[in-house]
Amino acid sequence: MKGYFVVGLLLVLGVSAKCLIKSSGPVKQFPDADRFNKPISSLPASWNWADVNGTNYLTIPRNQHIPEYCGSCWAFGSTSALSDRFKIMFNATWPDINIAPQVAVSCVKDGCFGCNGGDAIKVYEYIHKNGITDETCQIYQARGWTNGLDCGKLSICETCDPNGNCYVPKGYHLYNVTQYGIIKGEQQMINALQEGPIACDMDATPEFDQYNGGIFNQTLPAGSETNHVISIVGYGEEEGVKYWYGRNSWGTYWGEKGGFFKIVRGENTNLIESNCAWATPDSTIKRIDSSTRTSTFRAPKHKSCRTEKVTFEGGERITGPRSWELLEGVQMPRSWDWRNISGVNYLSWNKNQHIPHYCGSCWAQGTTSAFADRIKIMTQNRFPTLGIAPQVVINCRAGGTCEGGNPGGVWQFANTHGIPDETCQQYLAKDPENFECSPIQVCENCVPPPAPPSGHSNCSAVQRPHLYYVGDYGYVAGPDHMKKEIYKHGPIGCGMMVTKEFEEYTGGIYSQWTLFPQINHEVSIVGWGVSETGEEYWIVRNSWGTAWGEEGFFRIRMYRDNLGIETDCDYGIPDLARSGIA
């Protein structure tokens, strides 16, 4: 039925507070923008970047309203669409690039006012002029230049050390756009969507706040204005009703299918066809060498963030044959890399445990990354892509704190309690004042106004958030068993010894002999390979950001001289039924 949508519990009170401020300055239009004028009849009748012939080209869902309320829809709508377009440009191959909205909230000042609103096209103008980094360089903090987080030398890319010092990494990636512009109307929007998602203004009314499914339709009173920015990712038709498919930035607990919505198309419903911004990503990604512009500071010796042995209170939980038992006698492939299985990337987004503060949370990062990867694998990479929230396991002391911990506690917590995705709890890189594991420490939402520079927003717990569970969990060690567990179920968590030499790793197959490796760090092994000279190695995800190593990953020798990485590993197997995943 036209205009039907389900009204449920109001989860997001007051989010229709204005977060869009239209700038009055001129906008550069590129010469070939006329390509958006093809007749609609010549284009596909429906399109959804979440599922193009079985491939999901969308990056992760977002929540602009945690850990504080922030009217940054303009930054999220633009950066989410651009992140998706990078994924489309690189045909969904590894790695997903998640452009940092925090850089926009802090540094885009022409016509934009941080958490008090802004304009998506101004983000693209800024990126075209200056470039922008990913979220492992600058994580979202829900503050901007108008309320305590102004643009400074660390606002583009930073990482922090155990002594509390933060600094610009020696090198980092800078992403850019080659073109950008403004379009409006159904015809131009459908044309632009053939290239990727677009950021569109709309009037987010109180009725839209309450949306939780169906095709939204609403007749606005005269004089209504746009106040919100979202990303349109597709379009279609159901029972004769044409619709747009949109991505919001209010968390996965809003709307349908992880923070998305449908709205009537072709009638400028809620003014959604009145003004949209698009940008073309630059395929040339720059590597910025900042070594000549930073201080002479060098990070001190790595601080232990992981127990030497993983433990499970009460022992492992094993209810069926282990992977190496199921695959007994089966020859493993010569190489296996979950970043590229027949051209498909099954890994979730990259992390940096050390921003916006230093936090010894490797025990939570390696495990939650492996958990999210395994969900992607078990669901065959279906939309939506999720990140499991490491801040929740810190808040609940499910294995440790920012002073380090036991990875086994994470898998146990995922079995007994469940863990939400990261739109419930933003990573803060710090311990809570009290380890209560209260509802607000598991899943929260914040409401207007934006937090003052030295204060906080009004936040409350989200009731009945979607939690993700594991069933069996346990230990694994030794190359043969490790390979079979990775091959059968996906990446595993592993302990290793970090040395000063390892911290300086920039690429290649690492090896270092130590007489008695003392495990002090948790990583996630995602596969293995063989070099041209026949040397076997592990492919490993770290949690120090994309500025480190090989896009945040490293390769290390198999069997020996590998800092103990094969001696103490852990895993959990996602329980899709209990997690409510079909």
Give the residue numbers marked as catalytic: 362, 521, 542
DSSP 384: P
**How big, in percent rounded to 5, are the helix, strand and coil portions of the chain?**
20, 25, 55
Parallel, antiparallel, or unpaired for β 171-174 and 400-401?
A: unpaired
Burial class, 263, CB count within 10 angstroms (exposed 0-12 / middle 13-18 / buried 19+): buried
φ, ψ for residue 34 (rounded to 5)?
A: -65, -15
Residue pointed to by tokens 């998506």? 120
Q: Determine the Cα–Cα distance for residues 557 and 510; give it in Å rounded to an integer.
A: 6
What is the secondary structure of 553-567 as a DSSP string? Answer: EEEEESSSSBTTTTS
Q: Determine the Cα–Cα distance for residues 574 and 363; give it in Å rounded to an integer.
A: 18
φ, ψ for residue 40 (rounded to 5)?
A: -60, -35
Neighbours of 40 (CB within 10 A): 14
Ramachandran quadrant class, 482 (left: phi over 0; alpha: psi -120 to 50; beta: rest) = alpha
Identify which of 194, 188, 156 has the alpha carbon closest to the alpha carbon of residue 172: 156
Q: Determine the Cα–Cα distance for residues 73 and 96; give it in Å rounded to an integer.
A: 21
Angle between helices 120-130 and 73-89 (to 10 degrees): 60
> How far is C-alpha 94 from the geometric centre of its chain's CA atoms?
14
Q: Determine the Cα–Cα distance for residues 517 and 525; give it in Å rounded to an integer.
A: 18
φ, ψ for residue 35 (rounded to 5)?
A: -65, -10
Q: Determine the Cα–Cα distance for residues 331 and 172; give it in Å rounded to an integer.
A: 39
Residue pointed to by tokens 């995922």? 414
Neighbours of 509 (CB within 10 A): 17
